A = this chain, B = another copy of it.
């Protein structure tokens, strides 16, 4: 096995960062199924042409890059991540996993392997475009349908089925993308931590044993639009004032569950009519609630529901809720965790076995095949932000550790 080529890894990560790049300081906006998503992927495929991989695309646009093994009857060892970003995102979230997987294929290219090696590019891991996350892997795991994922169209954008068509896929045939349990030997994903734990403890590797999963819902507040000058205080049903109370209630619900690792965020707010001289008549909030403890998540949700009732009653507004996704936290494969644990011990690297606060495509792969993840530290824990940064030394260490594990499974 060759050692990690840091220059090659860095070249691919920085090269991908040119696609969807915003003006200075505003990071990268490369939304799923966009033209930038396509051109970034095409550029990457050109760069790894020397690997002579067999490249296929499934019915929803997930891409598979296969190096066949000696025994083609055995399922391959799979790796991968995603190339799409949030709005004004960074260069490392997702790309580290795709580039890392391809680097492992370079490192092992001259090794004789019994099993094949597969790198997967999952489509639409980020919810930035369609308000649903890990869409490609969820469809692949048969956990959702295109219809179910079509509930989150953004103002001024096309719907998910329309985006599939624009990508060249037939939404009617999406179920052909579903894979069966045992389709791979195992699935491995390297990712930046997107938190501050590794940086603060000075550890270089995180072995992920469980993944928190998001519950996402919209809250719709309906008050009364009125003239801002001629409507006395006390005569108003201001939807934005009620929304502000709910934003604080969401933050309190999660803060009360802080010790269990539960978090909640209102990341999107839309109001109508949105004019400086009109009391807002309608407000919509998108809430993202996550944790690794089901009971804690349920308590936070109940607390938010209580606030909805209280605010509706006190403010004389109507508040309804629509659940978009409600995923369960996922435990990863204990056997794969042990393999990584042994490799880290032998290597002498500082590491920890930890949960993931963020969701990943790996959580859906875990329902099909034994799955594990490797985290590397990122600066300040910052992610989904132009300032997202991970040191090439840390990324290389993560690739090196995962390469040893993958080799062990494939050889």
Let me know if B277 and A267 touch, CB within 8 A. yes
Cβ of A55 within 8 Å of any chain B Cβ, yes or no, is no
In A178-206, the 8 Å CB interface with B consists of: 193-196
Chain B residues contacting A264 (CB-CB under 8 Å) are 233
**What separation, in Å, do the CA atoms of A267 and B266 have in the docked complex?**
19
Min distance, Cβ A196 to any Cβ of chain B, angstroms: 7
Cβ of A358 within 8 Å of any chain B Cβ, yes or no, is yes
Let me know if A277 and B225 touch, CB within 8 A. no
Chain B residues contacting A274 (CB-CB under 8 Å) are 87, 267-269
What is the count of identical protomers in the complex? 2
Residues of chain A at interface, number, CB under 8 A: 72
**What separation, in Å, do the CA atoms of A384 and B339 have in the docked complex?**
65
Min distance, Cβ A28 to any Cβ of chain B, angstroms: 11
Give the residue name and chain of the B residue nearest to A93 (CB): B227
Chain B residues contacting A276 (CB-CB under 8 Å) are 127-128, 131, 216, 265, 267-268, 286, 288
Which of B229, B262, B268, B381 has a CB less than 8 Å from the CB of A231?
Answer: B381
Min distance, Cβ A192 to any Cβ of chain B, angstroms: 9
Cβ of A88 within 8 Å of any chain B Cβ, yes or no, is yes
Known: A258-B232, A267-B279, A276-B216. A227 touches B383 (CB 8 A): yes
New A-B contacts (18) at CB < 8 Å, excluding given A133-B277, A233-B255, A244-B247: A86-B273, A128-B278, A195-B227, A216-B276, A224-B382, A226-B384, A228-B265, A228-B288, A229-B263, A229-B357, A232-B258, A232-B263, A238-B265, A240-B269, A241-B248, A265-B276, A265-B278, A268-B271
